[in-house]
Amino acid sequence: MNDELSLFDSDDKKAENRINELSALINKYDKAYYADATPLVSDREYDELFRELQDLEAQFPALKKSDSPTQRVGSDALESFESVRHDKPMLSLQNTYSRKELSEFFRRVEEGLEGDKAEYVCELKYDGVAMSLRYRKGKLDIAVTRGDGYNGDNITANARTIRNIPLSLNVDHDFEVRGEVYLEDQTFREINRKREEAGEKIYANPRNLTAGTLKLLDSSQVASRPLKMVCYYYDATEMNITHYGNTGKLKELGFPTGYDLRLCKTADEVFEFIDEWESKRHDIPFAIDGIVIKVNSLEQQRLLGFVARSPKWAIAYKYEAETARTLLKDIKLQVGRTGAVTPVAELEPVFLSGSTVSRATLHNVDFITDKDIRVGDTVMVQKGGEVIPKVIGHVPELRSADSKAWEFPALCPCKRQSPLSRPEGEANYYCNDPQCPWQIRRHIEHFASRNAMYIEGLGEKVVEQFTELGLLKDISDIYRLHERRDEIAALERWGDKSADKLMTAIEKSKERPFDKVLFALGIRFIGESAAGLLANHFKNIDKLMNATEEELTGIYEIGERMAKSVLDFFADENEQRIVSRLRESGLQFEISNDNSGGAKPLAGISFVLTGELENMTRTEAKEKITALGGKVTGSVSKKTGYVVVGANPGSKYEKAQKLGITILSEEELNTKLGS
């Protein structure tokens, strides 16, 4: 026992030492690369160290420090995408909303050029997601997200699905192109509409949906969303001497270079371009949030250089979010899954930034009190690139003399009218009635949503219809719906086909694994990752239901608040009844061991994947390997059992060869997986 303990200790200690060592090395190399522009190691060596650090931190999460170099990648670098370092950092632009500041920019440029005149190129500022494309010998080799500016995610498979990006060109030099990936407004609305119908979460704006799409692990899903790219940067050994010329070069090569590009000889011409687009900006099929102004001559750009993380030779002039005035007809309440009650403005419909707005968020009671917003006021509404517009204030001169301050209602807007209360320190009022039909609806919507039980077809509208009709009283009724299939088929807007489709989706959801079921139950504060931790730790619902607070808080990342919520949930008789009905229906309430009676033929073997697999995604491969007890790590070492090599493998392939590790093809991997 003691021996074991000390062994454990020393492993931990070793990991800690190595983590410190790696962090120090990477920080040193970063500085040399970014600050002094004198790289000390090759990219490959750097990547290897970085990976090793990421792996160690994944293995020993307690040792991960918030200032670790891996944290700079932020949430952008998903474990399953390979992290790639940019050849040159992808910087951001200084922003301004003010013409005065723009004039100062022109002055600074001329000062920096010691009186020499500069020409400027004006471009639209596309409201999308930046991406870099590297071409080798005319072929698209690798596509990388911006990430933290220095390291991004390798999203090549996803980028290849974007139709207006050339995959190969008739040239044989290497070059890099950068630009913005975006979705047209129309496409965005269409995708959101379908998601809403399917009961899935909708995206706030086209940019978020674009970012979400580029991060999908399954590129065939990406391909079904018509992303587009517009390019604004070209880097090659043979370059034109101006930005304008290089954009022409991009166009000549077949890259999309945008709607409008104008070479301006004076500041006045720049201002004209800005004015022109201010009124035209909603007439184009995608969102722009401003104009980018760049010094045209590359030599002048070089002379001007950089400040912090932005070039001194470019600036973004941003347009103010548009506002509209309209009548606040009423303030309605909305009840969420947890009972939180939020105020929503009912507006006299008004046209704003390309669409008609009739509802807007009012945030919470404090916002309404602070801004003294009253029913009957003329309010200002704004759409800041988000789908849900917001009220930002009222127009005092237009207030009628008899208007009264708004008071938060005392009762829930649902038909049970339970009292509302506001816990201390909370921004929201809550309805604490577990039978509140609105909460029940939200709860069922959550249960059926994509990341939970993923029951397609059981979205907001259907849940509303079914609860109204008494077909659904709680989540466990979902699995009794087949008894009322004919009744459903006979409903308005239904029919045999859609009823059967829903029944199939419900049946299929019974295969969802334990952690998803746990998340779907909607235990307060238990999100997806906490549900995963609980499922892995307890393995089945009985053990979880009998867990003590100490046991729960003993799990890394499960805090007191979460533990209490779990205990409360399972102590509740109504929840117990629902859980037991769900069990009877055959949902997964334990971690499944469906591989030949729980055999773990790959136990203790570690795999490294490199290159693109043909018939499965990396995540799938990883899942299959771990299901059989194997481990998938990010870097090759002497301890690696196998390296699985797909098309276009990275440096890990060479390292494996060097170390004499057994190489597997995808086919050989499949044999090992027994399929």
* 292 in contact with ligand IVH (CB under 6 A): yes
Closest to ligand IVH by CB, 316 vs 463, is 316
Name which of residues 180 to 209 contact ligand IVH (CB under 6 A): 180
Is the Cβ of residue 315 or residue 431 nearer to ligand IVH in the bound state? 315
CA atoms within 13 A on the CB side of 614: 7
Residue 294 or 655: the one with the smaller Cβ distance to ligand IVH is: 294
Q: Work out the burial of residue 168: count CB atoms within 10 Å of its CB; fewer than 13 is exposed, 13-18 middle, 19 or more buried.
A: exposed
Identify the residue among 46, 50, 81, 126 touching ligand IVH (CB under 6 A).
126
- Sort strands 390-394 and 642-645 into parallel, antiparallel or unpaired: unpaired
Shortest distance (Å) from residue 94 CB to ligand IVH: 8
Tokens of 358: 């009739």
Helix then strand then coil, % of the chain, to nearest 5? 40, 20, 40
Q: Which range in 122-130, 373-381, 483-491, 530-538 contacts ligand IVH by CB under 6 A? A: 122-130
Interatomic CA distance for residues 395 and 406, integer angstroms: 16
Angle of helix 43-59 relative to helix 2-30, nearest 10 degrees? 150
- The number of residues in the chain equals 675
Site string for ligand IVH, 128-157 (x = CB under 6 A): --x---------------------------
Which is nearer to ligand IVH, 315 or 526 (by Cβ)?
315
22, 93, 140, 157: which one binds ligand IVH (CB under 6 A)? 93
The residue from 143, 314, 453, 587 that contacts ligand IVH (CB under 6 A) is: 314
Rounded-to-integer distance, Cα 323 and Cα 296, Å: 34
Asked about 318 being catalytic, the answer comes back as no
Whether 73 contacts 79, CB under 8 Å:
no
32, 46 in Cβ contact below 8 A? no
By CB under 6 A, tell whether 92 contacts ligand IVH: yes
Residue carrying structure tokens 């005149």: 117
Which residue's CB comes closest to ligand IVH? 130
Pick one of 138, 226, 245, 311: the residue that binds ligand IVH (CB under 6 A): 311
Q: Which of 88, 117, 125, 473 is catalytic?
A: 125
Edge to edge, the sheet with strand 228-236 lists 139-145, 129-136, 175-182, 228-236
Q: Which listed range, 36-44, 86-94, 469-477, 651-659, lies at the site for ligand IVH (CB under 6 A)?
A: 86-94
Which among 502, 418, 517, 420 is positioned nearest to 463, based on CA atoms?
502
Among 19, 165, 316, 412, binds ligand IVH (CB under 6 A): 316
By rule CB under 6 A, what string of x and - marks binding of each residue 229-258 to ligand IVH? ---x--------------------------
Which one among 52, 57, 123, 153 touches ligand IVH, defined by CB under 6 A? Answer: 123
Tell me the window of 90-98, 452-460, 512-520, 569-577 that interacts with ligand IVH (CB under 6 A).
Answer: 90-98
CB of 224 to ligand IVH, least distance (A): 24
* 3-class DSSP state of 450: coil
Interaction residues for ligand IVH, span 593-632 (CB under 6 A): none
Q: Which stretch, 13-21, 87-95, 165-173, 515-523, contacts ligand IVH (CB under 6 A)?
A: 87-95
Beta strands per DSSP E along 35-128: 83-85, 95-96, 120-126
- Smallest distance from ligand IVH to CB 540, Å: 47
Nearer to ligand IVH, 188 or 466 (CB): 188
Residue closest to 27 by CA, chosen among 56, 54, 49: 49
* Comparison of 155 and 373: residue with beta carbon closer to ligand IVH: 155
What's the closest the beta carbon of residue 96 comes to ligand IVH, in angstroms?
Answer: 12
**Hey, is 263 helix, strand or coil?**
strand
Question: For residue 139, which phi and psi values (nearest 5 degrees)?
Answer: -110, 140
Beta bridge partners of 381: 324, 391
Stretch that binds ligand IVH, among 88-96, 193-201, 332-340, 370-378 (CB under 6 A): 88-96
Residue bearing tokens 């939180």: 340
Asked if 643 touches ligand IVH (CB under 6 A), the answer is no
Burial 340-376 (b: 16+ CB within 10 A, else e): bbbbbbebeebebbeeebeebbbbbbebbeebebbeb
Q: How far is the CB of 95 from ligand IVH (least distance, A)?
A: 7
Distances (CA, A) of 242 to 248, 299, 528, 617: 10, 8, 50, 42
Binding site for ligand IVH (CB under 6 A): 91-93, 123, 125-126, 130, 180, 232, 292, 311, 314, 316
Point out the residues that are catalytic.
125
